[in-house]
Chains A and B, each alone.
Chain A
């Protein structure tokens, strides 16, 4: 009976010309069918409720942050408690500078370590330990990166600085870069690697000319995800970069050895104050920060999805 074999799911196949199939029909009056439908509805409801916070956050960001966001916010300094206007210009610069420092440290570091993990010694004992350490770091509470930078940089140099903040962020970026770059290099088809070695290229030439260029889109995805995470982090900056109401300049020159403002710490500091203007600014800064993080995230994801699948 080919019709029986080809029949779709039993619930839809109450074929009137085949009386023997009627027994398979599922009626809601049967407790077990009813139970199944009930749980399906429950799962749907829970999923819808789980998405409510996301829409609520986005709505609030645009409703409270978007309505007061003006262009001058981007280049003005934070307002005094009873002040008018003001902006988050120095915090924006501070976030960019510190994420830049963190990227300069963690990206070359992470990619070179990943080359070792994926290519030069993938099954060595060292590689296993490094992988374990990277996973350990990726589950590391972000505040402890701040504690470490405080102890290793702030206490040694004697003051809060953009360097300390950047180093704290680089510890959080490092495992993301290592683990994604390793995965990306592994994904390069082995025939390309073998062809290169078969042509007589050294390992270094294979890595630099074949593997890294081919894996670059996926590596960049990992880097972008790491940058997005670092840009939104507050805890590691609270007591490494601290905060500042001024630009990070001394005598008209960029000076990274002083307390530095960042978007995330600005939001934290202004969230608990009773002054309406500062709270408004806090929402506007949140909107800008979330948009920055989302754009970096989406750009990163689109990079690897457009990479040719081989």
Chain B
């Protein structure tokens, strides 16, 4: 049977349409490829600009502790230490609060409280209030997400004018009373590791809370129901069934937050004190790789050696964050795959 191709509705694509279709496909493929090229170009650009410094300083750059542009001696061990130390401190605080927020959101505490309050007033069936428990939970979720929307430079400002003055008396009292503990070995004279880590913890909390919440929500409900059915209390269920099942997802969240904390610049540049030294004291000023770059790049000017050295530091930062982010993404991927068998 012949197809009627004379009608306007059922004609095959015209040559122009075929050519433009081909062109559009190639354009789209081209931009997809361009994404890959952009990533490669970034890595190549930073890598090639730092080769002079790699040749001059070699591995000693990673283990040196002096940073002196006048003598041309450069080492970034204090910065690597500061980056890891501040991020791990922030991660410890952020994980405790972030997972607590995720549990609070998924266990429906707020909804239960609102519902019970309404029931006390016999309003739970009322048209105006019947949606209140869900609305409150959504509001809380959005408030936590709002934390992520505030620019980091504003957190830095808040850290300078609110956090440091607030914690300073307590920190100095701790230092005077327990100065034999290495962590409390120096007084807090202003900027330092602890205020930087506290602000950093606030900044990574939404990441941990959001991804952990996703992990907790995706635990199959029948596991929870089976545990309740066996007579377990809410927290016995959480600790023995739900958290272990969601552990992969939560761990992935923590690793991704670690990646964010390592690369965070502004809040740390404003709060960490920019002192080139290694100290375990929570109150001592330090420095991080990102804030080293932030503070020195603008003045590097035409000094090619200094640019190369800073590019090398940037390359080290990139390598650390890329490895951490990839591990986090892999863990999350495996965690979601592992849950599929349970459904």
Contacts and interface: CB of A to CB of B under 8 A. Distances in A.
B97 interface: yes
A6 B174 CA distance: 56
B272 interface: no
Nearest to B198: A53
B317 to A, nearest CB: 6
A181 B150 CA distance: 23
A202 B22 CA distance: 10
Contact of B236 (A36, A64, A239): A36
Contacts of A44: 104, 109
B149 to A, nearest CB: 5
Interface in B75-103: 96-98, 100-101, 103
Nearest to B158: A57
B35 interface: yes
B270 A271 contact: yes
A47 B17 CA distance: 57
Given A141-B264, A171-B38, A204 B25 contact: yes
B30 to A, nearest CB: 8
B53 to A, nearest CB: 13
Q: Which of A57, A115, A231 has the most CB of B within 10 A?
A: A57
Interface in B233-248: 233-236, 238
A293 interface: yes
Interface in A229-251: 231-235, 238-239, 242
Interface string B161-182: 1100000000000000000000
B298 A151 contact: no
Interface in B30-77: 31-36, 38-39, 41-42, 45-46, 49
Contacts of A293: 149-151
B183 interface: no
B224 interface: no
Contact of B266 (A43, A134, A144, A234): A234
Interface stretch (B122-130, B277-285, B289-297, B334-342): B289-297
Given A126-B29, A141-B265, A151 B293 contact: no
Given A117-B32, A141-B264, A143-B290, A47 B160 contact: no
A135 B233 contact: no
A267 interface: yes
A135 B270 CA distance: 28
Given A56-B162, A238-B297, A293-B150, A40 B21 contact: no
B143 A139 contact: no
A274 interface: no
Given A61-B154, A142-B265, A126 B297 contact: no
A136 B39 contact: yes
A39 B260 CA distance: 29
A147 B314 contact: yes
Interface in A19-62: 26, 32-33, 35-36, 39-40, 42-44, 46-47, 49-51, 53-54, 56-57, 60-61
Nearest to A148: B42
Residue among A49, A147, A267 with the highest chain B CB neighbour number at 10 A: A147
B152 A234 contact: yes
A8 to B, nearest CB: 12
Contacts of A140: 263, 318, 321
